[in-house]
């Protein structure tokens, strides 16, 4: 069921995405640079254990988790909606990248430790978009402890993308915003489908 709180969440995410794009096009603010350097400068030994959980934000990883969500909830429509949200978030992120055309850290003049071979523009993070879209769709079907764990996992993907040197902090904030907007949109689709089933 859609609520005013959901509406406020989507509006806030859309505003964050637009505001972040404006800042991203202007350069790299000092605070963002400092946050990036603090996270990216963490020890290299962390990369191996971080790499696998980070793949939850890849297109393939997101689709696998969407399928798992459908299986665990025993509702195929939930898995289909999650897969749609994941794919759409990934595609929207690519469009936003092309519109904003922000360099990745190593192309923006920062002394980045590059642990990931990502190419293309930086704003927004596609991995983070996928992770948060999946979270937005999954959250209503999870009990509170698991919901918090899912949110933590999505946030971890964002952290990992900064640590790996693939993205600046604003890139992952924008990615989270894309994921929330897309995921909440697919929640509406799921809700409409459920209403049709009840009425038909």
Q: Whole-prediction pTM value?
A: 0.95
Residue 115 sits at the vertex; the CA angle it makes with 127 and 67, to the nearest 5 degrees, is 30
pLDDT of residue 170: 98
Confidence of residue 1 (pLDDT cuts 50, 70, 90): low
Q: Which of 123, 124, 147 is nearest to 135 (CA)?
A: 147
Domain boundary assignment for the chain: 4-199
Over residues 172-187, the pLDDT tens digits come to: 999 999 999 999 999 9
**Residue carrying the six token digits 């859609």:** 2
Question: Is domain 4-199 classified as CATH 1.20.144?
Answer: yes
Instruction: State the DSSP H helix or E strand holding residue 48, giving kind and residue range, or none if neither.
Output: helix 47-54
172: its two tokens: 């992952």
pLDDT of residue 3: 78
Q: Which of 55-64, 83-92, 115-124 has the lowest mean pLDDT?
A: 115-124
Q: Which of 74, 83, 163 is nearest to 118 (CA)?
A: 163
9-17's contacts with Cβ under 8 Å and 24+ in sequence apart are 9/180, 9/184, 10/180, 10/181, 10/184, 10/185, 13/176, 13/177, 13/178, 13/180, 13/181, 13/184, 14/177, 14/181, 16/173, 16/174, 16/176, 16/177, 17/96, 17/124, 17/174, 17/177, 17/178, 17/181
Q: When comparing pLDDT for 35 and 191, which is higher?
A: 35
Cα separations (Å) of 84 from 5, 9, 48, 136, 153? 23, 20, 30, 12, 20
Question: What is the pLDDT averaged over residues 151-163?
Answer: 98
Q: How many CB atoms lie within 10 A of CB 30?
A: 8
pLDDT at 197 over 80: no
Give the span between the Cα atoms of 75 and 127, in whole angstroms. 25
- Rg of the chain over CA atoms, in angstroms? 17
Give the span between the Cα atoms of 18 and 104, in whole angstroms. 18
Question: What is the pLDDT averaged over residues 99-125?
Answer: 94
How much of the chain exceeds pLDDT 90, in percent? 86
Inter-residue contact 126 to 93 (CB < 8 Å): yes
Over residues 73-95, the pLDDT tens digits come to: 998 999 999 999 999 999 999 99
Confidence of residue 200 (pLDDT cuts 50, 70, 90): low
pLDDT at 164 over 90: yes
Alpha carbon of residue 26 to chain centroid? 22
């Amino acid at each position: 069921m859609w609520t005013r709180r959901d509406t406020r969440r989507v509006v806030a995410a859309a505003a964050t995405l637009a505001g972040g794009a404006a800042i991203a096009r202007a350069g790299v603010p000092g605070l963002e640079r400092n946050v990036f350097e603090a996270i990216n400068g963490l020890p290299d030994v962390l990369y191996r254990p971080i790499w696998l959980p980070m793949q939850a934000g890849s297109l393939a990883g997101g689709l696998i988790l969407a399928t798992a969500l459908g299986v665990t909830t025993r509702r195929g429509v939930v898995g289909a909606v999650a897969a749609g949200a994941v794919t759409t978030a990934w595609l929207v992120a690519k469009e936003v990248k092309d519109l904003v055309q922000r360099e990745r850290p190593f192309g923006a003049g920062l002394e980045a430790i590059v642990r990931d071979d990502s190419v293309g523009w930086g704003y927004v993070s596609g991995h983070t978009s996928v992770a948060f879209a999946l979270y937005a769709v999954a959250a209503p079907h999870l009990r509170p402890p698991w919901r918090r764990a899912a949110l933590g996992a999505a946030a971890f993907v964002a952290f990992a993308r900064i640590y790996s040197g693939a993205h600046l902090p604003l890139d992952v904030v924008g990615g989270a915003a894309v994921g929330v907007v897309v995921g909440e949109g697919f929640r509406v689709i799921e809700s409409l489908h459920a209403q049709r089933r009840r009425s038909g």
